[in-house]
Amino acid sequence: MIRESTVERVRSAKNVFALTGAGVSAESGVPTFRGGGGATVWKGMPFDVISSAQMVERDLAAVWEWFDYRRGVLRELKPNAAHTTLAEWEEKFNDFTLATQNIDGLHAAAGLKDVLELHGTIWQARCLACDRSKSLRDERGGEQPQRPPVCGTCGGEMRPDVVLFGEMLPANVLERAAEAAERCDVCFVIGTSGVVYPAAGLAEIAKRAGAYVIEINPERTALSDLCDETIKGQAGEILPRFQI
């Protein structure tokens, strides 16, 4: 159930900020990292080991194998009602900013034009030597692409353009997200367990700056106590009900 007063508050908001996590893609078939029967493990390695900065140095081939596997899964998946509703909100609100921890590209696939990808994107590679990036979108499933990819500019080895454990978030992206969190009157926290920082800290920034913080999640999270209200349920069912 969503309270009528909450719907009204959201409808009349001028500046809206949304922070999303893996749960927003769950209804598309993307597995979450936590909850629902234990943490993700791949070839015996917990995801925070295979997705770590040290693994890039130790075994870049294994890192590519893991992200190629995930990209293969994602290639078949479509945005759900949560993604499409949030893409519509970008058009409807005066000022709407969405920052996601997801690397799956599903917000953009739903039509959201300006997505702040705090943890990068699985659809790009980045050169370890010169930092240039290139899209992996054109790689076809089935064919075996070159691994690691070679940079077209300097010939260096490339890595997935994602933020791994032990790495900093892209400073300009985090800065824009923090600014939006600071100026919003309503902040949505959708489908995140709220345990990974600095992303989770964006909800704290919004709250400290006086925003009304609404969480959408079937479970309680590390951010629930900070939120003004938690709407229990699936993002793809709850978000369209606001009928902005």
Binding range to ligand OAD, per CB under 6 A, among 1-9, 65-73, 153-161, 217-225: 217-225
Write out the binding residues for ligand OAD, residues 30-89 only, by CB under 6 A.
32-35, 51
Whether 83 is catalytic = no
| Binder of ligand OAD out of 221, 223, 231, 239 (CB under 6 A) | 221
User: Considering just the CA atoms, what is the radius of gyration of the chain in Å?
Assistant: 18
**Strand runs labelled E in the chain:** 15-20, 41-42, 45-46, 95-100, 115-117, 120-127, 133-135, 158-162, 186-190, 212-216, 229-231
Task: Say how many CA atoms lie within 13 Å of 184 toward its Cβ.
Answer: 33
Q: Which residue has the tokens 């490339």?
A: 158
Binding range to ligand OAD, per CB under 6 A, among 18-26, 132-140, 147-155, 202-210: 18-26
Distance of CA 31 to the CA centre of its chain: 13
229 binds ligand OAD (CB under 6 A): no
Q: How far apart are CA 158 and CA 61, in angstroms?
A: 11
27 binds ligand OAD (CB under 6 A): yes
| Binder of ligand OAD out of 145, 170, 198, 218 (CB under 6 A) | 218
| Binder of ligand OAD out of 70, 107, 119, 126 (CB under 6 A) | 119
Cβ distance to ligand OAD smaller for residue 53 or 109: 53
Packing angle, helices 201-208 and 171-183, rounded to 10: 30
Candidate list 83, 107, 119, 207, residue with the active-site label: 119
196 binds ligand OAD (CB under 6 A): yes
Reading phi first (left if > 0) and then psi (alpha if -120 to 50, else beta), residue 127 is in beta
| Binder of ligand OAD out of 52, 85, 97, 101 (CB under 6 A) | 101
202 binds ligand OAD (CB under 6 A): no
176: its two tokens: 């824009």
Tell me phi and psi for residue 160, to 5 degrees: -60, 140
| Binder of ligand OAD out of 19, 181, 235, 239 (CB under 6 A) | 235
Q: Which residues bind ligand OAD (CB under 6 A)?
A: 21-23, 26-27, 32-35, 51, 101, 119, 163, 191-193, 196, 216-219, 221, 234-235
Active-site annotation, residues: 119
